Amino acid sequence: MVKCSFCERKAVYVNHLNGKAYCKLHFISYFERKVRRTIRKHGMLGEKEHIVVGVSGGKDSMSLLHLLHKLSKKNKNWRLTAVLVDEGIRGYRENTIPALKTYAERNMVEYRIVSFKEYLGFTLDEIVSIGRERGLPYLPCSYCGVFRRYVLNRAARDVGGTVLATAHNLDDIVQTYLMNIINNSWDKIARLKPVAERGGHEGFVPRIKPFYEVLEKESAIYALVNGLVRPDYQQCPYAEYNIRFTIRKILNDLEEKYPGTKYGLLRSLEKVSGLIENAQKNVLKSFETCKICGDPSSHPICKACMYRFELGILSSEESSRVKYVINEYPYLRKFLARF
């Protein structure tokens, strides 16, 4: 049995970088101090905020909600609202919703549950089915990622949030970094920042990633020692179709053999994203307004509306408008699988 480096209790976590072992109490202190330092370092939160926390009911998001709830009790100028997006994944999402409800009701945390069905008219299962019937090449995670961001931003705006906190941890970020390198998507790398600001568009709720320097393993342990999730937490059934699933395994193997690999990749990301942003003269800080839905977008039509057009789930009037805009901006065709 490994003992805590600071007391005689049993260790629940060993940090292979600093060689220290932590019992439950010292681990909680270590974890929370690390996240507070990240928040301060990147100026994520001001004196007065309405923090919307994107929650899935899983280990990372429940850990983030719990920690921000603890911090908000010390700062009376912070208001906290948890928002859970129910994508509509049969046999999965309904199993994670109770974790949020139980926590929120026990701790008197304001929360709201929204859904793809409410904002898009279809569940993710239905969207995936439609995409397959139409022969579209997109993976379920592609739809989910785009539509989750779309719905979360709208829901955060609807409840009056001043900032949207997501539980993306260090593992998520470096996995996305490698995926973008593989796909030659260098413009997206510059967006992998701990803070995403408005970019001149009032419709975009600024986003923060308080777990930017937290390992997935650490947030999982924090959730377990605080009793925030069940030990038998399920993985999304669509995850196996994503390249992320493979990259995650490779990175975990490298980290185990060469501790510090993930932090090294994060430092690499920071340097590369800075170079890209300077080369593009901060063009990534500006948003356009989607000509279909009015939400912030990097292009005249946002990715969510592009997907909805290809899926055939826009109204006839909206579809006609998409075709008109594409004719006006022909380069948008490259973002479509077919037209």
- Name the band, by pLDDT with cuts 50, 70 and 90, for residue 283: very low
How many domains would you assign to the chain?
Answer: 2
Residue 265 lies in a domain: yes
Alpha helices per DSSP H over 110-260: 116-120, 124-133, 140-158, 170-182, 186-189, 216-225, 243-257
The pLDDT of residue 22 is 97
Q: Is 26 part of any known ligand binding site? A: yes
Task: For residue 265, name the pLDDT band (cuts at 50, 70, 90).
Answer: very high
Q: Does 285 have pLDDT greater than 90?
A: no
pLDDT of 242 > 90? The answer is no
Q: What is residue 338's predicted lDDT score, i.e. its pLDDT?
A: 62
pLDDT at 237: 79
Does any domain span residue 270? Answer: yes
Indicate whether 113 and 49 sit together in one domain.
yes
* Bridge partners of residue 22, in order along the sequence: 13
**Domain boundary at 282, 311, 326, which?**
282
Domain boundary among the residues 282, 297, 322 is at 282
Query: 302 among the known binding-site residues?
Result: yes
**What does the alpha-carbon distance between residue 291 and residue 14 come to, in Å, rounded to a whole number?**
51
Q: Is residue 201 part of a domain?
A: yes
Residues 56 and 88 in one domain: yes
236 is in an annotated binding site: no
Give yes or no: residues 301 and 234 share one domain. Answer: no
CA distances (Å), origin 118, targets 95, 124, 151, 180: 19, 12, 9, 31
Q: Are residues 264 and 320 in the same domain?
A: no
Is residue 22 one of the residues assigned to a domain? Answer: no
Pick 304 or 283 by higher pLDDT. Answer: 304
7 is in an annotated binding site: yes
Q: What is the number of other CB atoms lying within 10 angstroms of the CB of residue 192?
A: 21
In a domain, 9, yes or no: no
- Segment 32-57 shows an average pLDDT of 96
Q: Is residue 14 part of a domain?
A: no
Q: Write the DSSP assignment of 191-228 as a string of letters.
A: T--SEE--TT-TTSPPEE-TTTT--HHHHHHHHHHTT-
Same domain flag for 326 and 178: no
Residue 305 in marked binding region: yes
Looking at the predicted structure, is the pLDDT value of residue 329 above 50? Answer: yes
According to DSSP, the β-strands at 49-55 and 163-165 are parallel
Mean pLDDT of 244-271: 94
Q: Give the confidence band of 188 by pLDDT, cuts at 50, 70, 90.
A: confident
- Domain harbouring 51, CATH code: 3.40.50.620
The per-residue pLDDT for range 156-167, each reduced to its tens digit, is 999 999 999 999
Choose the most confident range, by mean pLDDT, from 40-54, 191-205, 242-256.
Answer: 40-54
How does DSSP classify residue 4? Answer: P
Same domain flag for 278 and 161: yes
Segments forming the whole domain that contains residue 124: 41-282
Q: Would you say residue 8 lies in a domain? A: no
**Residue 144 annotated as binding?**
no
Residue 64 lies in a domain: yes
Helix 59-74, helix 93-107: angle, nearest 10: 20
| pLDDT score of 238 | 75
User: Parallel, antiparallel, or unpaired for β 195-196 and 207-208?
Assistant: antiparallel
